[in-house]
Structure 1
Amino acid sequence: MAWEFRKLAPGENVAVETQRDPFAAPKWAPPVWHMPEGLVLLVNAVRVLVRTVVFLVRNIVPVSAASALAWSGYAYGWTVPVLVLALVGVGLGVWAAVDRPSFVRWIARPVRSWWRMAFVYRRHWQPVLVTAGLTKTHHGREYLPSLVRVRCSPTSDRVLVRMLKGQAPDAWERVAVNLAHGFGATLVRVRDGDRPGRVWLEFVRTDALAEPIPALPVPDASEVDLSGLMIGRCEDGSPWRLRLLGTHVLIAGATGAGKGSVIWSTIRALLPLMLSGLVEVWAIDPKRMELSFGRVLFERYGRYSSDPSGGMVKLLETAAEDMNERAERFAGLTRSFTPSAEFPFRVIVVDELAFLTAYCPERDLRKRAESALAVLTSQGRSVGYCVIGAQQDARKEVNNLRNLFPDRIALRLDEDEQVDMVLGDGARDRGALADQISSVPQIGAGVGFVRLETSPDPVRVRAAYVSDADIRQMVALALPDLDVEGAA
């Protein structure tokens, strides 16, 4: 449609649509103001100047170094900057050889982060976001979310993004697959940012959990921290530390998912405090297979029961009674628990919760077991009791006490809806793809997602594999006078 400008009065330029019909009523439009060319050039010059200053401030170190080298080359010849670069290279090499962790922290990772931000994310930012539908166009102008910062780890990148006004993290979660393919990552997760209007995008480049992790060394007693037992590895390569003090842990996973790896890695990390009398492990073993390898260990430094006719339920009720007695003694004296020889920290390990709460043929035993578990999980945290429960079936009718377990671990599950049943609503949308974990033991056994009480974001982890030989070695360490092979 053609337009023309008509001047109605001094200073009034009005754009109107050109009409072929001379008798048609005119269509009026807002006034069009013409900006002087000098003012346009001045505004653009200011914008360029501001952007240049911002660039120099953000890149003050490399710009200063490049300027100094250029000036020295101009003033003294090219041999000076070449010699300086050689000395810097030798110094960096010596630093990397002497103290590699600090070199990686202060040099390698920042440089790699800058490189990937410039040549991976910023380079492909606009086309990938347009294709994924994360941009908006209004009156011919394209609005694009801003790339704020990139942080690299050995296996993944964390990208901080400033979203568009009115945009929510859900919009990014829905196109996580598009972002992964667009930037060449195997997986993308969306995390809350450091302030409203920002999100972190976790681009997983390589799988640090693809290979089985051998059993971790038995730590010294002074290194054992009940608020963070090292039992495996996180996806970013950092140690996986499981908290037991002041919480309860639920482990859910299909057959062969690696629940035993989590349980035995935890017991292995607790072993030094068990030997010193500060920790007791009460093992309840309905399957009579997984925990039976350490039966003599539990009977010496705790208790053990695999009696389906009532012994396991009686052990739970005894634990609940002892917990109530301890609570009465602590009432009005202390609000925090510290393990001691008189009041050790007690870990109640139940290898199959569903047998006690749903599958047990005797109705009375099921009710008693559920009542004892409810008492322990609702009141035991503050007085030094921790329940570690493992189950295969994630349905609510099988275990309606799962909300009493603050910390939950989802290993390989059979169905996608089971992920939210274990970890809570929205966990799968946040990246907890427990239903997609490989069923091949060498690849997927012990791999899972952890959701802690303090954070809604699931973390991908893998527990170390504790073999039968490792368990026998633990028993031999705890009971040196026992014939381990004969006891096994």
Structure 2
Amino acid sequence: MFKRLPGDEARNLVTTTPDTAVVFRPAVLKTPALVTLIIYGWRFLVALVRTLWRHPIASAVPVALGALYAWHGWPLTASALGVVVLVLLAWAFCARDSFARLVGWRLLAWWRLMSVYCRHWQAVMDVSGLARRINGRAYMPRLLKVQCDSWADRITVRMLDGQAVKDWSDRTDNLAQGFGAVSCRVALIKGGRLLLTFPRSDPLAAPIPALPIPDEPSVGPVEIGKQEDGQPLKLKVHGTHVLIAGATGAGKGSFLWDTIRGLLPAMRAGLAEIWALDPKLMELSFGRELFRGRYASDPADCADLLDEAVSVMQKRAARFAGLQRSHTPTVEDPFILVLVDEVAFLTAYQPDKQLRQRISAALATLATQGRSVGVGVMAALQDPRKEVMNIRNLFPDKIALRLDESEQVDMVLGDGARDRGALADHISPVPELGAGVAYMRLETSPEPVRVRAAYVSDDDIRAMVATFTARGEAA
């Protein structure tokens, strides 16, 4: 069918019909069986040494049992095994935390490694497009380590040469579904290595009741809820500014009232003040007595209160100049937290243009100059678009509650936050499941953290007002 070519290359041409393109069959080099056996033997030896090095105790147990069986038979071996099991059970019941840290989570990690990740690794990598095939050879990302704790599996992966973090963050849904998890988050450990987090449970599924009021006055990080890993959520308010964004009913009020609740002892001691702006007249007005006259709801009054805060800030800056670079709360110079609920009404939807510009200028001045002199801003809004809040980049710490659109996540938390797992647009609209749930991105860490703020009820606020005003007036 083909014309004979010089060098007799016609035998290397493959085709089925005269109209198809000519395909050259690649040369195949057959590896001798002895070489193959040597390669696999070497790999087995390396894997064995690595296992013994990484898991000496887990490797010593079966070796010891095997030696005991060879020397003394099965009765003594079974007895020794029973003693070991009883000791482990007693340890698990008497010291659950230490057993889980030293034994339990490691056993679970090994089981998850063998039953889930090794079992499905190749298929998931192929289907998700993270594996590559070049010239008939498969190149697979390498699974390095599996770690487990009470709520998630953490997988350390070595990427293929030339891959980028975005190649993995774009396939988080594929990875989560492939390994039977609800979600997947991708974080860069160092060049070429990623940390994949697959949550197994959700510690934030149930609402959190209001936390106790602290005993000691402090303006340090305020405990306001719980993180996804079960650790307390402590929000820094002194020395920073916080922006909170979320749709209607997402739970913005929880973050506001938890912050107020955590600062009550410091307010009672005169080390902190909260200046509240409440243009909606619904959220902060419920506890206006807590703010000792530093409360405004009318837009004009809000502008006056912001101008007063700017004046206090500038006077402090003039006194601190050349003497100190950071603020330490004192009775003479307390920490001032300017709390603004629905800031968009003041900066974008306010019909009075001059008043709107005045408020925006005051907020921008506080956000750029207030941190070092002890004047912080915490602002909450529903619509995070730039034309609504054009100074959102001046807030170092940002919190995204339930949002309506996926694009809004990056507007609040910064570019790429949603690709790294901040699925604020997927938070449930059911109040029992999603109210107060948010993703938080701090100035000190670019990775978003899933959190839930405690719910402060109307009765809790009434109790706060009664307790604080009674003790404050008595003092």
Q: TM-score, normalised by structure 2?
A: 0.89
Q: Distance in 2 between matches of 1:437 and 1:18?
A: 62
Change (3 A) 1:464 1:420: same
1:93 CA displacement: 3.5
Q: Which moved more, 1:389-398 or 1:89-98?
A: 89-98
Change (3 A) 1:41 1:462: closer
**Aligned residue in 2 for 1:121:** 117
Unaligned ranges ≥5, structure 2:
2-6, 14-23
1:37 CA displacement: 6.7
Equivalent residues in 2 for 1:365-404 (5 A)? 365-404=355-394
Letter in 1 for 2:58: P
2:112 aligns to what SS in structure 1?
helix
Q: Distance in 2 between matches of 1:35 and 1:99?
A: 55
**Aligned residue in 2 for 1:150:** 146
Q: Distance in 1 between matches of 2:95 and 2:59?
A: 27
Q: Distance in 1 between matches of 2:79 and 2:12?
A: 75
**Aligned residue in 1 for 2:60:** 64
Q: Does 1:238 align with 2:231?
A: yes
Q: Distance in 2 between matches of 1:51 and 1:19?
A: 41
Q: Check whether the contact 1:283–1:305 (CA below 8 A) recurs between aligned residues.
A: yes
Change (3 A) 1:96 1:218: farther
Identity within the alignment, %: 53
Q: Does 1:340 align with 2:335?
A: no
Change (3 A) 1:70 1:413: same
2:65 aligns to what SS in structure 1?
helix
Q: Alignment length, in residue pairs? A: 459
Q: Does 1:209 align with 2:204?
A: yes
2:202 aligns to what SS in structure 1?
coil
**Aligned residue in 2 for 1:486:** none
Equivalent residues in 2 for 1:266-285 (5 A)? 266-285=259-278
1:231 CA displacement: 0.8
**Aligned residue in 2 for 1:5:** none
1:186 CA displacement: 0.8
Q: Deviations over 1:313-350 (max 9, x none)?
A: 11111111101111111111122222122211111101
Q: Does 1:319 align with 2:309?
A: yes
Q: Distance in 1 between matches of 2:8 and 2:202?
A: 61
Please, which of 273, 288, 294 is the counterpart of residue 281 of structure 2?
Answer: 288
Q: Deviations over 1:417-451 (max 9, x none)?
A: 22222112222222222222222211111111111
1:79 CA displacement: 3.6
Q: Distance in 2 between matches of 1:448 and 1:37?
A: 58
Equivalent residues in 2 for 1:402-441 (5 A)? 402-441=392-431
Q: Check whether the contact 1:253–1:412 (CA below 8 A) recurs between aligned residues.
A: yes
Q: Deviations over 1:25-44 (max 9, x none)?
A: xxx99999998776665555
Q: Distance in 2 between matches of 1:414 and 1:480?
A: 42
Letter in 1 for 2:84: V
Q: Does 1:164 align with 2:157?
A: no
Q: TM-score, normalised by structure 1?
A: 0.87
Q: Deviations over 1:105-134 (max 9, x none)?
A: 222212211211121111111111111111
Q: Distance in 1 between matches of 2:269 and 2:181?
A: 47
Please, which of 177, 182, 186 is the counterpart of residue 181 of structure 1?
Answer: 177
**Aligned residue in 2 for 1:361:** 351
Unaligned ranges ≥5, structure 1:
2-13, 21-27, 484-488
| Root-mean-square deviation (Å) | 2.7
Letter in 2 for 1:286: P
2:190 aligns to what SS in structure 1?
coil
Equivalent residues in 2 for 1:77-96 (5 A)? 77-96=73-92
Letter in 2 for 1:101: D
Please, which of 285, 289, 294 is the counterpart of residue 303 of structure 1?
Answer: 294
Q: Deviations over 1:251-302 (max 9, x none)?
A: 1111111110110011111112111111111111111111112111111xx7
Q: Check whether the contact 1:187–1:205 (CA below 8 A) recurs between aligned residues.
A: no
Q: Distance in 1 between matches of 2:94 and 2:265?
A: 33
Q: Check whether the contact 2:12–2:25 (CA below 8 A) recurs between aligned residues.
A: no
Q: Distance in 2 between matches of 1:36 and 1:129?
A: 30
Q: Check whether the contact 1:476–1:482 (CA below 8 A) recurs between aligned residues.
A: no
